[in-house]
Amino acid sequence: MYKLSERSAPFLRLLLLLGMLTLLLSACSSGIPSASSTDSAKASSPLTSENEASSQADVSTTRIYKDKRNREVKIPVSPQRIVYIGSNPGDLIALGIQPTGASLSVIAGQIAYPDLLDGIEDVGYPYSVEKVSSLNPDLIIFDDWDQENLPKLDMIAPTVVIGADDPVDMLERLKVVGDLTGLQAEAQAWTEQYIQKIKDTKASLKLGKADTTSSILLMGKTIYIMGNQGFNQTLYGRLGLAPNENVQKLIDQDERFVDVSSERVSDYIGTEIFILTDAEPETTQTQNTLLNSAFWKTLPAVQKGRVHILSSKWNFDDAITSERLLDELAKVINAIE
């Protein structure tokens, strides 16, 4: 039998020690997956892959938006099927958005842009929750006072409140709509060209510095003096025309309108009068009574031929109406045929 020399014994012990360490490391490595093997196993798991893909897709296609009621709503980054509830669908149309549905049943025959409503489904006014649901929207933009059914709308699709009882300036609404739909650049471009058109229109108007303006809305048997609402948003707020003294008081008090008797109309009359009216029989009768009254014929604006009778469709304040109104005002004030 071969006998180790004393000289070789230390070397053999070293080899045995190294061998034991190797076996120990092998055993440990076989029980604990390496980083690469863990990643490989993770990638091969269908459930893990689906969850990660879903999470990444959700982050890239949705975002959180805080609406006018301070509700945090998860909305699509690029909504494709929008239902608009309110009276200003022209805000969306101005940005090239054709809503899948909108509240058209009342306003469709009263607005200045019926030519732009093709293909938009009417959800009714008051809106029908069932009709909204049938359109399968991926975003509902809510700009209406009746918020009772908001929880039901929330169950259909992400619902964002952009307005309610308090009137919101059109340019502010347009900015919000641009943000909601990912069309911020388009909203900014539209705003810039609109502001330039305001400047051009104002410069073209043949009015003196002492001239004042007022608007009267006739609806059925009622005569309304307009304050800070609709038509007057353009007349005073954008073109900067001066209101009658008593109309200015309405604006200062943030009054949208007041109804008055025919005898009190003269208290609100300026040197330039705009009458907004419709073709309903009762409205026509009220208009004829007013224009044929003795006191009306004594008004300086009437005697100078400075009364402009316009359709009540101009009393909306959406983006499309506001822009077209600038052309209409330039035409009637400057007596352009």
At 286-323, the pLDDT tens digits run: 999 999 999 999 999 999 999 999 999 999 999 999 99
Q: What is the CATH number of the domain that holds 271?
A: 3.40.50.1980
Q: List pLDDT tens digits, range 174-228.
A: 999 999 999 999 999 999 999 999 999 999 999 988 999 999 999 999 999 999 8
Mark whether 224 and 103 lie in a shared domain: no
* 82-108: average pLDDT: 96
Mark whether 132 and 242 lie in a shared domain: no
For residue 212, what are the domain limits? Answer: 206-333
The H or E element spanning position 202 is helix 184-204
Percent of the chain with pLDDT over 90: 74
Of 132, 312, 139, which is closest to residue 218 (Cα–Cα)? 312
Mark whether 90 and 113 lie in a shared domain: yes
Mark whether 146 and 210 lie in a shared domain: no
Sequence-distant (≥ 6) Cβ neighbours of residue 96 within 8 angstroms: 183, 186
pLDDT at residue 60, as a whole number:
76
Residue after which a domain boundary falls, among 164, 194, 224: 194
Mark whether 169 and 242 lie in a shared domain: no
pLDDT at residue 288, as a whole number:
97
The H or E element spanning position 301 is helix 300-303
pLDDT bucket at 21, cuts 50 / 70 / 90: very low
Residue after which a domain boundary falls, among 194, 222, 256: 194
Mark whether 159 and 238 lie in a shared domain: no
Mark whether 176 and 220 lie in a shared domain: no
Residue 71 lies in a domain: yes
